[in-house]
């Protein structure tokens, strides 16, 4: 009887494992076919200026120049597909979309170099170990570091709208700190690490409310470091919880713990997770609306990009936290929703983007209920993290 029980357990275990592997393979195959379609329609539109797909505008594929903050995501998507499939053609595609961003290593006019360069050249170096790509990344980090103000203790986010802000710092900027920490590990130049840690600590101090929801923009006095304004520029109101902003914070502090081992960043990530998981439907795997406090829910646009970022962050935080089992359960439910017909685009539709129903900047009437390339990026990252988690069991 005991032998029979063991035999049944083995059958169930390997049956479940095989089912998971089959399900993963079907999804990866779907994504590969969709990205192949994406490159087919993007290629005729590319030129010396326009390099990467970003979204759909007026029913047509919109490409952006290398200086756009989203320019690194599509090459990153192609690198991740190379990781998932091992097929050389995806490496070739990825390089072709990565190399036009090379000149941005000298761009000191943006805080988004982490998004632009680490998502593209970071993965290029990961898979090729080409020293040129390493040097491009180091220069990118040094360019980013020039935007740090020691009085404020943060990297300046935006240079535009000087009539509104003197020294704006947005929660999104947490995501760009990974480039600095990577460059510190490669060069040993302490100032890069110190900038990242200081920025994250000041963000904890000033960006978060008592419930650990986050403002979008904190405006500082660049001479004194004093907080002048707390706003939510892309959300419903200054006091609302813009969904993608909460996602950036969750992912950013999870990453900071991974890279530094500093417990304060793990604690912050857990507190942000607690706020997100307290929002209606999230624990059940419901993709968030564009703002958790939007007034007309459920008649508000979704933001699949926020859902994908939260999913990727929770898979990783699940490895570090004593609440890991809860985080991974929620990540699995969100992942299942994103993989459903409601959000996963059929092959040959959606202008080659993987996910539907993201929202960029609703108050600015920009990119509402459209695909966004960074939603695809964090969805692909979630596929990889989920597969790695299942293989390690």
- Return the active site residues: 112, 172
Residue with tokens 């607690």: 274
Q: Is 299 helix (H, G, I), strand (E, B) or coil?
A: coil
d(CA 367, CA 378): 18
Greatest Cα-to-Cα distance within the chain, rounded to the nearest angstrom: 78
d(CA 75, CA 117): 10
Q: Does an H or E element contain 155, and which?
A: strand 154-155
188: alpha, beta or left, given left = phi > 0 and alpha = psi -120 to 50? left
Cβ atoms of 355 and 371 closer than 8 Å: yes
**What proportions of the chain, in percent to the nearest 5, are helix, strand and coil?**
60, 10, 30
Beta bridge partners of 63: 53
Cβ atoms of 280 and 199 closer than 8 Å: no
Of 317, 168, 302, 181, the closest CA to residue 243 belongs to 302
d(CA 54, CA 276): 27
d(CA 130, CA 27): 31
Q: How many whole angstroms from its chain centre is CA 100?
A: 21
């Amino acid at each position: 009887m005991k032998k029979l029980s063991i035999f049944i357990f083995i059958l169930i275990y390997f049956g479940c494992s095989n089912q998971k592997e089959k399900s993963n393979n079907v999804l990866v195959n779907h994504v590969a076919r969709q990205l192949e379609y994406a490159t087919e329609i993007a290629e005729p539109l590319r030129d010396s200026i326009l390099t990467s797909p970003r979204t759909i505008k007026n029913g047509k594929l919109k490409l952006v120049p290398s200086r756009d903050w989203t320019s690194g995501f599509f090459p990153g998507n192609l690198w991740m597909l190379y990781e998932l499939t091992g097929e050389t053609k995806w490496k070739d595609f990825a390089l072709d979309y990565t190399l036009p961003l090379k000149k941005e290593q000298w761009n000191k006019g943006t805080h988004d170099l982490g998004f632009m360069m680490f998502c593209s050249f970071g993965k290029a170096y990961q898979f090729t170990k080409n020293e040129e790509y390493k040097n491009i990344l180091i220069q990118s980090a040094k360019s980013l570091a020039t935007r740090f103000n020691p009085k404020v203790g943060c990297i300046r986010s935006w240079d535009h709208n000087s009539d509104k802000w003197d020294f704006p710092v947005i929660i999104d900027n947490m995501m760009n700190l990974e480039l600095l920490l990577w460059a510190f590990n490669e060069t040993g130049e302490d100032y890069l690490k110190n900038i990242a840690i200081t920025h994250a600590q000041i963000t904890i101090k000033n960006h978060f409310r008592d419930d650990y929801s986050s403002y979008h923009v904190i405006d500082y006095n660049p001479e004194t470091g004093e907080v002048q304004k707390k706003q939510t520029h892309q959300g419903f109101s200054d006091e609302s919880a813009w969904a993608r902003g909460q996602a950036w914070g969750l992912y950013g502090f999870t990453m900071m713990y991974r890279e530094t081992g500093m417990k304060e960043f793990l604690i912050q990530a857990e507190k942000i997770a607690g706020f997100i998981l307290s929002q209606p439907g999230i624990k059940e795997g419901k993709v968030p609306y564009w703002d958790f406090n939007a007034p007309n829910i459920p008649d508000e646009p979704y933001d699949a990009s926020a859902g994908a970022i939260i999913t990727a962050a929770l898979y990783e935080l699940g490895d570090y936290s004593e609440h890991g089992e809860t985080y991974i359960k929620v990540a699995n439910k969100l992942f299942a929703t994103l993989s459903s017909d409601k959000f996963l685009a059929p092959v040959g539709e959606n202008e080659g983007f993987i996910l539907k129903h993201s929202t960029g900047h609703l108050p600015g009437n920009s990119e509402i209920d459209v695909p966004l390339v960074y939603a695809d990026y964090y969805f692909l990252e979630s596929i990889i993290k989920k597969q790695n988690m299942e293989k390690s069991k």
